[in-house]
Amino acid sequence: MPTYNAWFECIDPTCNERFPLTEVVYRCPRCEKLLKVEHEIEALKHRSGAAWMRVFDDRYMRTNFPYGSGVWGKKEWVYPHIDDESIVSTYEGGSNLFMADRFGELIGLDDLWIKQCGNSHTGSFKDLGMTVLVSAVKEMIRQGATIQAVICASTGDTSASLAAYCAAAGIPAVVLLPKNKISDAQLVQPLANGAHTLALDTDFDGCMEIVQKLSADTRFYLANSINPLRIEGQKTISVEIVQQDDWQVPDWIIVPSGNLGNITAIGLGFLMMRELGLINTLPRLVAAQAESANPLYLSYKNGFTDFVPTQADFTQATAIQIGNPVSAPRAVPILQTFDGIVEQASEHELSQAAAMADKTGLFSCPQTGVALAVVKKLAEGGVIHQNEKVIVISTATGLKFTDFKRGYHQGVLPEVLPEFANQPVELKGDYKSVTSAISGLIN
Ligand SMILES: *Cc1c(COP(=O)(O)O)cnc(C)c1O
Ligand SMILES: [Zn+2]
């Protein structure tokens, strides 16, 4: 068996700076650009594409720790040389593809699927990246590093995930949240897991600025997706989507997009599968943004000639209320490679799409609502064709966003006209009231 290796490398191909994955480094010290994780591709090529598929299929959802995890089943492609003893896993990944035939029919698509990444330990796709990052920290600590806490800024799901993985590993976590800008469930999650939870009187971009300054002190390890270890874990979403369809590549993937780590990761996963011979076509990628937090959309509209951070205004899709996405320099080349599209959705559109999908059996979070509104727009506009295979990435469970749901059905969300509002019928506790109410409701 060849020895596989991976390391941090500057994203600028002319720069070439490299660091071990156990080094505390987030930007290239020479040119200040972002880092990526690079793999020893020649060693990985010793196995054929078909052989990799067999390896991944043999491990998928089975019991052999840690390889039954959707992330660690692809360990050689993620963090090959980490000691299995360092791995902190909650058996993440392996989330189902929901067959959205009824929603698809409503918007004119015959082959629409929802990748349910929110069906996960802490209820969002963030677990896929966090298992890698926290495992890396545990490996560093076992090797003698003095890391006192793992820190992050969050729109709610990163902090929930970091808190849970750190609690499982017995490592302290400090999370910075924008006060009153995340859901109750998302605030309760890190509190329950014992994280030091700081609610700041600013927005996510403000929290991010502070946490980046804090991370100059190497005792505080930064868990935001500026850290490419997160992206390595999220990359497995692509492998899993293809694997779940007997290694067939879909035509389109729609991704709710905020800080732009996830769309980057999904692109990288496909490129790696192509390079290693598992697939030979690529899907088209669509980044879906909320109209009130749309810097990528604006950049796309000017042909990506420049990227101007914006002030993110309020949106129900709080997890993507980001005006200055840290991974923009990673995501733009990915979108260009994948013939990508950026589309946006208004508050009305995202809320309507989520409610419409819920009526067909889903329970969509508002971020997924943005992606569902975008897929509807692209299908109705003839950009996506009826027979094409389309995957929408659902990034979190709707159960974290009950205020959004209640607000929609009560008709109190600003700018939203709730066509699918549904309210409980309140009755006296007697049989006759129930039967007469039911006969009024059915037919
Ligand atoms: C983090 C998050 C996103 C955005 O992902 P990025 O990688 O920041 O673009 C979307 N939806 C949910 C629910 C999230 O938690
Ligand atoms: Zn550099």
How far is ligand 2, taken at its centre, from the CA of residue 79, in Å? 22
End-to-end CA separation in angstroms for the chain: 67
Q: What percent of the chain has pLDDT over 90?
A: 98
In a domain, 310, yes or no: yes
Pocket of ligand 1 contains residue 134 by CB under 6 Å = no
How far is ligand 1, taken at its centre, from the CA of residue 60, in Å? 25
The alpha carbon dihedral of 119, 327, 415, 188 has a sign of positive
DSSP 269-315: HHHHHHHTTS-S--PEEEEEEETTS-HHHHHHHTTTS------PPP-
In a domain, 392, yes or no: yes
* pLDDT in the model for residue 49: 98
Question: What range does the domain containing 332 cover?
Answer: 97-123+231-410
> How does residue 17 score in pLDDT terms, banded at 50, 70 and 90?
confident
Which residue type occupies 360? T
pLDDT tens figures, 253-304: 999 999 999 999 999 999 999 999 999 999 999 999 999 999 999 999 999 9
Q: What is the CATH number of the domain that holds 322?
A: 3.40.50.1100
How far is ligand 1, taken at its centre, from the CA of residue 386, in Å? 28
In a domain, 345, yes or no: yes
As for how many domains the chain has, the answer is 1
pLDDT tens figures, 348-386: 999 999 999 999 999 999 999 999 999 999 999 999 999
In a domain, 149, yes or no: no
41, 82 contact by CB (below 8 A): no
> How does residue 252 score in pLDDT terms, banded at 50, 70 and 90?
very high
Pocket of ligand 1 contains residue 129 by CB under 6 Å = no
Question: What is the average per-residue pLDDT within 80-99?
Answer: 98
Number of helices (H) and strands (E) in the chain: give both, helices first. 17, 13
DSSP structural state of residue 34? B
* pLDDT in the model for residue 228: 97
pLDDT tens figures, 175-206: 999 999 999 999 999 999 999 999 999 999 99
Is this structure's pTM higher than 0.85? Answer: yes
Report the mean per-residue pLDDT for the chain.
97
Pocket of ligand 1 contains residue 256 by CB under 6 Å = yes
How far is ligand 2, taken at its centre, from the CA of residue 29, in Å? 7
In a domain, 235, yes or no: yes
In a domain, 180, yes or no: no
- The residues pairing with 62 across neighbouring beta strands, listed in sequence order, are none
pLDDT tens figures, 207-240: 999 999 999 999 999 999 999 999 999 999 999 9
Backbone angles phi, psi at 304, to 5 degrees: 60, 25
In a domain, 427, yes or no: no
Model confidence at 443: pLDDT above 80 = no
In a domain, 140, yes or no: no
